[in-house]
Chains A and B, each alone.
Chain A
Amino acid sequence: MNTTAPPIEVEIDDYGPLYAARKKVYPQSVSGTFRRIKWGLMAFCLGVYYLLPFVRWHRGLGAPDQAVLVDLPNSRFYFFFIELWPQEVYYFTGLLIVAAITLFLMNSIGGRIWCGYLCPQTVWTDLFYAVERMVEGDRRERMKKDAAKGTLKLQRFAEITLKHSIWLMIAWWTGGAWVLYFNDAPTLVKQLVTFQAPMLAYIWIGILTTTTYLLAGFMREQVCVYMCPWPRIQAALTDEWALNVTYKYDRGETRTSLKKANELRALGKAVGDCVDCYQCVAVCPTGIDIRDGAQLDCIQCGLCIDACDTVMKKIGRETRLIGYDNDINIQRRQAGKPPIYRIVRPRTIVYSALIATVGAIMLYALLTRSLLDVNVLHDRNPVAVKLSDGSIRNAYTVRLLNKRGFDRVIAIDIDGPANATVHVVGVDSVTPDRPMIVLGRDQTTELRLLVTAPSENNPEKSIPVRFRVTDIGLGEVASATDNFVTP
C-alpha cells in the first residue's frame, strides 16, 4: 500500500460543516478488456431479468406454463422442472447458503467481483451512465454543460428531457419485468396495456420504477458507499491471496509527468511508470483514486485497468500498471522474486467443497422428495371418547398432499390398535374399513378421521398407530405415525 502520500494541506474550520454536499462523479468512457466483460455481463444479466418471464415450460393441462413463476395466490413457486410448496421454502434457505458461499468464493479468488460486475446497482447504474453519455456526451462535455448554469438553452433542455425520459423508460420496464414473475407474463402484459391488470401490479411497477430511477440515476455510487453493507462484509472476507484491483506502486512510483520521466530516464535515474495522467480517476464510477490503495469505495470494476492500459500502450510502457493483483506479489517483486498466484488454496477448496455439499444435499432432497404426503394431528379435546358399547374412539385431523399434476385415488389404512376400524367423516366407503378418497391434483385435503377400537383388546394406555395412504393407481405410499390413546 502506498504509505508515502504527502501530507495534504487542509483548511481548519473550527466548527466544521454539518453536512457535505456530494461531489458529482463524471466517469469517462473507456474501452478495453474489462469494459468488454462488463458489457457482456450487463447484457447477460439484463437479458435474463427482462426475458425470463416469457420462457414457457409445459406442465400439463390446468397448470401454469411459465418457466419461472411465483404464484402467490395459490402458494406455489415454479422454477422450470421444480415446483415448490410453501412448506418447502427451506430450498430457498439452501439456495441462500449456496449464494453466500459463492460470494465468499468469488471474494477469495477475485475480490469484489459481485460489486464490480454483477450487482444490480452496478449493472443498472452502468446502463444509466451509458444513456447519459449517449445523450449528453462524455465526461468533459457533461462537466462543461453542468457548469454552465443559468443559461439553459433549448438544446440543453431537450437533452435533459431526453435523458430522463430514457431513464424512466428503462426504470419502468424494470418494474414491469418484475411483476411478470408473479403472474402469467403474456396475459399480464395484455392486461397492463389495456389497464385491466390488478392495482397491485401497477403499484409494484410504480415502486420499482421509482427506486430504479432514483438509485441508478441519482444515488449511483452513494448506494455502494453509504447504503450498502456488502463493502464492509466483503472487505472482511478478502485475504492476502485474493486478486484485487491494485495499483502496483512498486512499479508506478515515483510518479512524474511523461516528459520529465523521459528526461530522468535518459539521465539513468529511477522513475516510476505512472505518469500522473489521472485517467484511472477520470473513468472511475465511484470517483476514487485507486493509487491510494484498496478502499471501501472501490467496487473493483476494473475500468481503471483499461484506462491505464490504454495510456501505457500509448507511451510504450508495459501494460497492467493497475491490474488484478495482491500485496504478496507487490512485495515479492520488490524483493526481486517472481509473482505467484494461488487460486487453489485451503480457503477456496473449503468454499468449493461447501458449495458442492450443500448443492448435493439440495439436489438429493429435491429428487427424493415425496409427491404424496400425509400429516396427522391427534384431536386434543377430547383425546379419546368412550362409546356406548365400551369401545374407544380417537379422532385425528389428517392432511393429505398430492403434489402431482393429476387426480389420484387414495386409500387410507391404519396399523395400530387390534381390531380397529377407521372412518372418514363425509366419506361413505365402498370397501368397509378402507376409506378411499379422490385427491385433486396439486392440492391438499383435510379430513376428519375416526379410529375406533374395542377396549378389551387394547389394554395399553397409548398404542402407536400408523396411517398409511396408498395411491391405488401408482402404488405410491406415504405414512405418518401418531398414538391411539385410551381414556
Chain B
Amino acid sequence: MADHNDLDHVTGKTTTGHEWDGIKELNTPLPRWWVITFYLTIVWAVGYWIVYPAWPMLWSNTTGLLHYSSRADVAVELANLEMIRGDRMVALGAAPLADIEKDPALLALARARGKTVFGDNCAPCHGSGAAGAKGYPNLNDDDWLWGGTLDQIMQTIQFGARSGHTKAHESAMLAFGKEGVLKKEQIVTVANYVRSLSGLSTSQGYDAAAGAKIFADNCVACHGDGGKGNQELGAPNLTDKIWLYGSDEATLIETITNGRGGVMPAWVGRLDPPTIKALAVYVHSLGGGK
C-alpha cells in the first residue's frame, strides 16, 4: 500500500504512492462522466437482476419481475414461423402433385421441407442422404419395389408396407426353406439361377435347367417371367444390378430359405398432408423417380 504521495516534479502532478521498479504512478483521476457512467452500469446491472431471471438457486433460479423465459420466447418464435409458413404450406397442399416440380418456388419449398422431415422421420432407416442400407432401400436409385412415380411414392409414404394399415402394401416372400417347400439343394440351385439372371457368376457344376424349372414353378408368380419383378406385390426385379439384401450366394440362400418382408410404417396421421406431399416430391427429386 501507498505510504505517502509524492509530487512528481516533471509533470507537477501528485503520484498515487505506488511504485514499481522505480516507476511511480501519476495520480490522474478519471473524468467525472466516466465515473458516473461506470456507476450507472452498476445500477443497470442491479435493475437487470430484479427484472430478468438472474440468480441461480438450488433447484431453479429467480424468475425476475418480467417472468421472462427463453423457452417461452422460442415458443412464440415457432408459432410465428408456423404462421409465416402457413400460406406457403397451404399452397403446397393445394397444388396438384404433378405440378409441384414444374414450379421452381414450390419445388424449392417442397425440397426444403421434405429434407427436414426426411431427416426427422425417415433417416433412421433410409439414412440421412436416403442412401439406404441392407434391407432398407436406397431412394436415390431408379429401382423401386412399390413404384417410383410421384403418386406411387406418396402412396407408399402414406400407408407404408406391411404396416398394419388397411391400405398398406401387402404380400411377403415365402420362407421356402423353413416352410419345407424347397429342399436345401434346390435352394442352392435356384439361388445360382437367380444370380445368372443378372449376369452374375454361378458356382461350378450347377444345373441351369433345374434352376429354371424351380424358378418357373415357385418364383414366377411374384417375380414374373424372367424375374423382372412386380411392383404390385413389391417383388424386386431380379435381373438388375440392385440388390436390397445382397446378391452373393449365401445371402440369396438365406433369402429363399427364410423369406423377406421388410416393414415401412404408415405416415398418414403422423404427418400432415402437405408435409407428406413435400416428402414425396423430395424423395422423387433425389433422382430415382420415374
Real binding pair = yes
Chain A residues within an 8 Å CB radius of B196:
none
B5 x A16 contact (CB < 8 A): yes
The segment from B46-54, B126-134, B173-181 found at the interface with A is: B126-134
Determine which of A13, A14, A18, A426 lies in contact with B101 in the assembled complex, contact meaning CB atoms within 8 Å.
A426
> CA separation between A10 and B7, bound complex, in Å?
8
Residue of B nearest to A21 (CB): B32
Of B9, B14, B102, the residue contacting A7 (CB under 8 A) is B9
Q: Is the CB of A20 within 8 A of B138?
A: no
B108, A446: Cβ atoms under 8 Å? yes
Report A-chain residues with C-beta under 8 Å of the C-beta of B32: 19-22
Query: A181-208, CB under 8 A of B: which get 1 and which 0?
Result: 0000000000000000000000000000
Q: For B111, list chain A residues within 8 Å (CB).
A: 448
Interface 9-mer from B183-191, B211-219, B237-245: B237-245
CA–CA, A390 to B199, complex, Å? 11
| Residue interface bits B131-167, CB-to-A below 8 A is 1, else 0 | 1000000101111000000000000000000000000
State which of A15, A387, A425 has its C-beta within 8 Å of the C-beta of B285: A425
A389 touching B241 by the CB < 8 A rule?
Answer: yes
Q: Mark B218-253, 1 if CB is under 8 A from A, else 0.
A: 000000000000000000010011100000000000
Q: Contact between B131 and A382 (Cβ–Cβ < 8 Å)?
A: yes
Spot the interface stretch: B23-31, B61-69, B81-89, B257-265. B23-31
On chain B, the residues within 8 Å of A423 by CB distance are 287
Does B20 interact with chain A (Cβ within 8 Å)?
no
- The count of A-to-B residue pairs whose CB atoms sit within 8 angstroms is 105
Q: What is the chain B residue whose CB lies nearest that of A447?
A: B104
Give A207 Cβ to nearest chain B Cβ, in Å: 17
- Mask, A356-389, CB within 8 Å of B = 1, is 0000000000000000000000011110011111
Contact present for B33 and A222 (CB under 8 Å): yes
The answer to whether B31 touches A20 (Cβ under 8 A) is: yes
| B16 contacts the other chain (CB 8 A) | yes
Closest chain B residue to A428 by CB distance?
B102
A16 touches B140 (CB 8 A): no
By a CB distance below 8 angstroms, the chain B residues around A450 are: 287
B12 on the interface (CB 8 Å rule)?
A: yes
Least CB separation from B144: chain A residue: A388
Which residues of the other chain, B, contact A15 by a CB distance below 8 angstroms?
5
**Complex Cα gap A380–B131 (Å):** 10
The residue of chain B having its C-beta at the shortest distance from the C-beta of A446 within the complex is B108
**A395 and B34: CB pair below 8 A?**
no
- Give the distance to chain B from A437, nearest Cβ to Cβ, in Å: 9
Interface size class of A (residues with CB under 8 A): 35 or more
B243 to chain A: closest CB distance in Å?
10
The distance from the CB of B32 to the nearest CB of chain A, in whole angstroms, is: 5
On chain A, the residues within 8 Å of B143 by CB distance are: 387-388
Nearest residue, chain A, Cβ from B199: A390
Rounded to whole Å, the gap between the CB of A289 and the closest CB of chain B is: 14
CB of A8 within 8 A of chain B?
yes
- Contact assessment for B285 and A380 in the assembled complex, using a CB-CB cutoff below 8 Å: no
Which of these, B12, B14, B30, B101, contacts A425 with CB under 8 Å? B101
| Cα distance, A385 to B34, chains bound together (Å) | 66
Pairwise interchain contact A12-B5, C-beta atoms closer than 8 A: yes
- Select the residue from B104, B107, B237 with max chain A CB neighbours within 10 A: B104
Contact of B5 with A395 in the complex, beta carbons under 8 Å: no
- Asked if B108 contacts A20 (CB within 8 A), the reply is no
Q: Mark A217-235, 1 if CB is under 8 A from B, else 0.
A: 0010010001000000000
What is the bound-complex CA distance between A139 and B4, given in angstroms?
41
Tell whether, in the assembled complex, residue B141 and residue A385 are in contact, meaning their CB atoms are under 8 Å apart. Answer: yes
Cβ-based interface call for A35 (8 A)? no
In the complex, A381 Cα to B128 Cα: how many Å?
A: 7
**In the complex, which residues of chain B have a beta carbon less than 8 angstroms from the beta carbon of A334?**
none
Tell me whether B35 is interfacial, beta carbon within 8 Å: yes
Q: Quick one: closest B residue to A385, CB to CB?
A: B140
**Which A82-130 residues sit within 8 Å CB-CB of chain B?**
none
Asked whether, in the complex, the Cβ of A10 is within 8 Å of the Cβ of B12, the reply is: yes
Across the interface, do A8 and B104 meet the contact criterion of CB distance under 8 Å?
Answer: no
With contacts A385-B141, A448-B285 taken as known, whether A18 is within 8 angstroms of B240 at the C-beta atoms is no
State whether A385 and B33 are in contact (beta carbons under 8 Å apart), knowing that A10-B7, A426-B102 are contacts in the complex: no
User: Cβ of A16 and Cβ of B14 under 8 Å apart?
Assistant: yes
Note all chain A residues with C-beta closer than 8 A to B128: 381
| Distance of A456 Cα from B221 Cα, bound (Å) | 33
Partner of A426, one of B31, B107, B142, B241: B107
Q: Which residues of B contact A (CB under 8 A)?
A: 4-5, 7, 9, 12-14, 16, 27, 29-35, 101-102, 104, 107-108, 111, 127-131, 138, 140-143, 237, 240-242, 285-288
Q: Known contacts A20-B29, A390-B240, A395-B287; can you find 4 more A-B pairs with CB under 8 A?
A: A19-B35, A385-B141, A425-B107, A445-B104
5 examples of A-B residue contacts, CB within 8 angstroms: A7-B9, A22-B33, A381-B128, A382-B131, A386-B141
Interface pairs A-B: 3 shortest CB-CB: A381-B129, A388-B240, A8-B12
